[in-house]
């Protein structure tokens, strides 16, 4: 297979808190990120890359690259300052202009409703998604956004990387501010998030026929460290609890029996109301989306007896000696990317959409010459070729390919040193400089790759 189909979507993904800035403008309320302070290797979140004021400039670069899709998140506290009270018409109008600017350039918007930045007032009142109060507030907010934008936005997501709410990371991203971070709380968070996702999937499908809701995972393929049966078994368990359990719901089949058996054994069944389970067994998503950066390896011998499956990687994670890693320890594995695409297509028979893929590297600009990022060209070339093989050789239906960032943004930890873009943004963690956008060497490569529909790589 050479060129990809003409309707294949090319683009990039980002989040509001990593790009937007404008933290105290336009009637926006505080989010949990707005109060986080800078540290040695992290910026605060108040300016980010200032897309609140510069989105037209960034969209011009996307158009020049030939991109046809942009996945972004809405800042919940911009459109509903306290998370559950009055909606802010000025914030809604901002996103109307934002979407109009994309459509005017031939770029399909993809809205993600939540990318970790819960309104602070709601987090303080509910302790985040531990409480059904936050779940119900999110459903209300999501329905309002579908009412506002559903007529013009075809592609939707509820939660970024939803399986993170099934891992210890859940306590960092769910609005959780206090508590002992218990397993019961983790299961409450993950279930409330899934119920909210299902309600909004059904609402979009009922009110906006033809618009598409995806379910999204952060999918790091986890290999068993050896062929020892225990390594293989634990890697399979981990996949079931963190990936297949959610994919089963996205495909309209409800939760995994294996996971529900654990829920019953742990005494958590009261969290899972009968009406919730009935809803999850009847709602099916329109496509399966995922982020992919690297694979990982699991050594079962390192996992203490009695550890919950959700926590295996806290103990069992170890480097794969057969793969190279970035300076951040993320192991580069294009074949793992193909494996995930093919598995989704084979097992669930649904369209697949990889919507985050990229390499984060410490880079600097000399003020004159474009950053020579041949490593980024190599990373994307290898992953696009792996995706093409999944399509041509494995029969997968793939909707498009979105890179992560592609215009430099704050990392998920607020570290501007970790850059993913084909466009350099001139700021660092503690000096905003002029925020100038400067294309890197990979920019010209990507423009040609998109223009040739993936044929010239």
- Can you tell me the distance from the alpha carbon of 366 to that of 403, in angstroms, rounded to the nearest whole number? 25
Q: State CA 405 to chain mean position distance.
A: 11
Q: Is residue 78 part of a domain?
A: yes
pLDDT in tens, 315-340: 999 999 999 999 999 999 999 999 99
- Dihedral Cα 238, 241, 243, 249, nearest 10 deg: 160
- Dihedral Cα 202, 203, 208, 210, nearest 10 deg: -10
Q: Is residue 248 part of a domain?
A: no
Q: Is residue 354 part of a domain?
A: yes
Q: Read off the DSSP letter of residue 39.
A: B
> Active-site residue among 108, 185, 356, 363?
356
Catalytic residue check, 274? no
pLDDT in tens, 84-128: 999 999 999 999 999 999 999 999 999 999 999 999 999 999 999
- 165 token code pair: 């709410």
pLDDT of residue 358: 98
- Can you tell me the distance from the alpha carbon of 450 to that of 448, in angstroms, rounded to the nearest whole number? 5
Q: Is residue 276 part of a domain?
A: no
> Active-site residue among 20, 84, 108, 161?
161
Nearest to 48, CA basis, from 34, 62, 61, 69: 34
pLDDT in tens, 9-20: 999 999 999 999
Domain count along the chain: 1
Check: CB of residue 160 under 8 Å from CB of residue 216: yes
- Tally of residues, the chain: 457
pLDDT of residue 386: 98
Q: What is the pTM of this model?
A: 0.97
pLDDT of residue 406: 86
Listing from the earlier edge strand, what are the strands of the sheet with 296-298? Answer: 222-224, 296-298, 317-318
The tens-digit pLDDT sequence of the chain (457 residues) is 689 999 999 999 999 999 999 999 999 999 999 999 999 999 999 999 999 999 999 999 999 999 999 999 999 999 999 999 999 999 999 999 999 999 999 999 999 999 999 999 999 999 999 999 999 999 999 999 999 999 999 999 999 999 999 999 999 999 999 999 999 999 999 999 999 999 999 999 999 999 999 999 999 999 999 999 999 999 999 999 999 999 999 999 999 999 999 999 999 999 999 999 999 999 999 999 999 999 999 999 999 999 999 999 999 999 999 999 999 999 999 999 999 999 999 999 999 999 999 999 999 999 999 999 999 999 999 999 999 999 999 999 999 999 998 899 999 999 999 999 999 999 999 999 999 999 999 999 999 999 999 999 9
C-beta pairs of 222-225 under 8 Å, 24+ apart in sequence: 222/295, 222/296, 222/297, 222/298, 222/313, 223/295, 223/296, 223/297, 223/298, 223/320, 224/297, 224/298, 224/300, 225/297, 225/298, 225/299, 225/300, 225/316, 225/318
Q: Is residue 240 part of a domain?
A: no
- Can you tell me the distance from the alpha carbon of 205 to that of 280, in angstroms, rounded to the nearest whole number? 15
Distances (CA, A) of 87 to 13, 50, 83, 144, 199: 26, 23, 9, 9, 20
Phi/psi zone of residue 26: left (φ > 0), alpha (ψ -120 to 50 degrees), beta? Answer: left
pLDDT in tens, 31-63: 999 999 999 999 999 999 999 999 999 999 999
pLDDT of residue 1: 65
Q: Is residue 272 part of a domain?
A: no
Q: Is residue 317 part of a domain?
A: no
- At 335, which CATH number? 3.20.20.80
Q: Which residue has the tokens 């998503």?
A: 285
pLDDT in tens, 424-444: 999 999 999 999 999 999 999
Give the range of the structural domain holding residue 153, as residue numbers without chain letter: 9-218+328-451
Q: Is residue 116 part of a domain?
A: yes
Q: Which residue has the tokens 């989010």?
A: 31
Catalytic residue check, 161? yes
- 441 token code pair: 């060497």
């Amino acid at each position: 297979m050479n060129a990809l189909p003409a309707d294949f979507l090319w683009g990039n993904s980002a989040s509001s808190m990593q790009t937007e800035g404008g933290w105290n403008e336009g009637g926006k309320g505080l989010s949990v990120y707005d109060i986080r302070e800078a540290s040695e290797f992290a910026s605060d979140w108040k300016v980010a890359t200032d897309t609140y004021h510069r989105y037209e400039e960034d969209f011009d670069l996307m158009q020049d690259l030939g991109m046809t899709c942009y996945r972004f998140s809405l800042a919940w506290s911009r459109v509903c300052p306290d998370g559950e009270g009055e909606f802010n018409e000025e914030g809604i109008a901002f996103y109307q202009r934002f979407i109009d600017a994309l459509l005017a350039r031939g770029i399909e918007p993809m809205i993600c409703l939540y990318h970790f930045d819960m309104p602070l007032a709601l987090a303080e009142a509910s302790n985040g998604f531990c409480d059904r109060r936050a779940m119900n507030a999110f459903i209300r907010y999501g329905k309002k956004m579908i009412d506002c934008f559903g007529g013009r936005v075809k592609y939707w997501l509820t939660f970024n990387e939803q399986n993170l709410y099934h891992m210890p990371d859940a306590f960092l991203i769910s609005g959780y501010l206090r508590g002992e971070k218990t397993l019961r709380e983790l299961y409450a968070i993950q279930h409330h998030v899934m119920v909210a996702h299902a309600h909004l999937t059904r609402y979009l499908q009922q009110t906006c026929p033809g618009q598409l809701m995806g379910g999204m995972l952060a999918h790091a393929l986890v290999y068993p460290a050896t062929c020892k049966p225990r390594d293989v078994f634990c890697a399979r368990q981990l996949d079931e609890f963190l990936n297949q359990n959610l994919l089963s719901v996205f495909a309209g089949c409800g939760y995994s029996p294996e996971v529900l058996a654990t829920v019953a054994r742990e005494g958590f069944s009261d969290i899972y109301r009968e009406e919730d389970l009935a809803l999850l067994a009847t709602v099916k998503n329109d496509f399966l989306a995922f982020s992919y950066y690297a694979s990982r390896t699991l050594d079962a011998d390192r996992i203490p007896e009695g550890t919950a499956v959700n926590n295996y990687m806290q103990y069992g994670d170890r480097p794969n000696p057969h793969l190279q890693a970035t300076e951040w320890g993320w192991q580069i594995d294009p074949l793992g990317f193909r494996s995930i695409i093919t598995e989704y297509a084979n097992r669930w028979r649904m369209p697949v959409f990889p919507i985050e893929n990229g390499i984060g590297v410490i880079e600097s600009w000399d003020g004159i010459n474009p950053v020579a990022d041949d490593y980024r060209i190599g990373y994307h070339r290898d992953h696009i070729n792996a995706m093409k093989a999944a399509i041509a050789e494995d029969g997968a239906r793939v909707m498009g390919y979105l890179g992560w960032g592609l215009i430099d943004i704050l990392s998920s930890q607020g570290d501007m040193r970790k850059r993913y873009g084909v466009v350099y943004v001139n700021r660092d963690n503690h000096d905003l400089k002029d925020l100038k956008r400067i294309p890197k060497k990979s920019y010209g490569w990507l423009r040609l790759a998109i223009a040739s529909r993936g044929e010239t790589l």
